[in-house]
Amino acid sequence: MKNIKTILIVALSIITIFMATDFFEFEKPNKASQYPPSVDFKAAVNEVLDEALSDRIINLSWDKVFPYITHFETLGTRHTNTGSVGSATTLDSTGLVMETGATLNNNRAVALNTDNNQFLSFDRKSRLRTVFAIESLIQLDNQTTYILTHRESGANIDAYGFKISGNSLLGLAMNAGTETTVSLGTLANNTFTKLEARYSPRDKIVFYVDEAEKGVLTTGLPSPAGAPEALYYFDIKTTEAETKILTIQMFELFVEKVKL
């Protein structure tokens, strides 16, 4: 922020210098002042700002943010892909498709694990974004789904993201395995929805649905001492004898880097 302010001060100084000269021709009595600024003047100022700010923005992203994004082109060796007999995971043009079997409590789970998480911490700001849909051949009720970034130490899970219970969409925080939720609305069967969660350690998680803010959690947040061991964790379970299908089109996770 301090450096950006410095750049803006320099830019304003340039503008002042131009105005003090005959660039606008204010001091020439026989010519009218140019207002709004001429095209050439605006182009000159924009060129200075573009050059200075573009490098600054790139450097901020490169040095301070760990970005992860996937459209699920493949599942690699760091993925866990498990489930009950009769469940399945496939990749197709729509993304990652997880399907339960048609038996009570049948489930499917997929996670991307990382052993090299030295840059990651729940003590840093992060953001999670995804596009997903849940399909039920009869109705959306009687299923439970999790879309999370999380760490797990035995039964003690720290995480944040989303939980779908039946057709109810919930914003979720987990601390040592204890869930805290906030209602974000209801979902329609087999309808793609964009979700986003913005995490600020020791403060709050703000949840968005289709780019509109829908809820906030300020309690039950993940322990700042932990670090995401799974960049993402998806789990869908049917609580009736009917197949449920979770499709994830894309997933993003941006985390403010830990300084090493």
pLDDT tens, position by position, 130-161 = 999 999 877 778 999 999 998 876 667 899 99
Amino acid (1-letter code) at residue 249: Q
33 Cβ contact partners less than 8 Å away, ≥ 6 residues apart: 24, 25, 26
Mapped onto helix, strand or coil, the DSSP state of residue 168 is strand
52-56, 114-118, 218-222: segment of lowest average pLDDT: 114-118
With beta carbons less than 8 A apart as the criterion, state whether 179 and 220 touch. yes
Structure token pair of residue 69: 């994004």
Contacts of 233 (CB under 8 A, 6+ apart): 109, 110, 111, 146, 147, 148, 149, 150, 159, 161
Q: What is the average pLDDT value for the chain, to the nearest integer?
A: 83
Mean pLDDT comparison of 49-58, 134-143, 234-243, highest-scoring range: 234-243
Average pLDDT over residues 241-245: 94
Q: Is the pTM of this model over 0.85?
A: no
11 compared with 40, residue with greater pLDDT: 40
Q: Are 253 and 128 in contact (CB under 8 A)?
A: yes
pLDDT at 3 over 70: no
> Quick check: bond before 36 cis, omega within 30?
yes
Q: By the 8 A CB rule, do 81 and 201 touch?
A: no
Q: Which residue has the tokens 């051949």?
A: 137
The DSSP output letter for 218 is -
% of the chain exceeding 70 in pLDDT? 81
pLDDT for the residue 111: 93
Give the pLDDT mean for 247-254. 95
Q: Which two tokens stand for residue 142?
A: 């009687």
Q: What tokens were used for 1?
A: 């922020």
pLDDT at site 85: 96
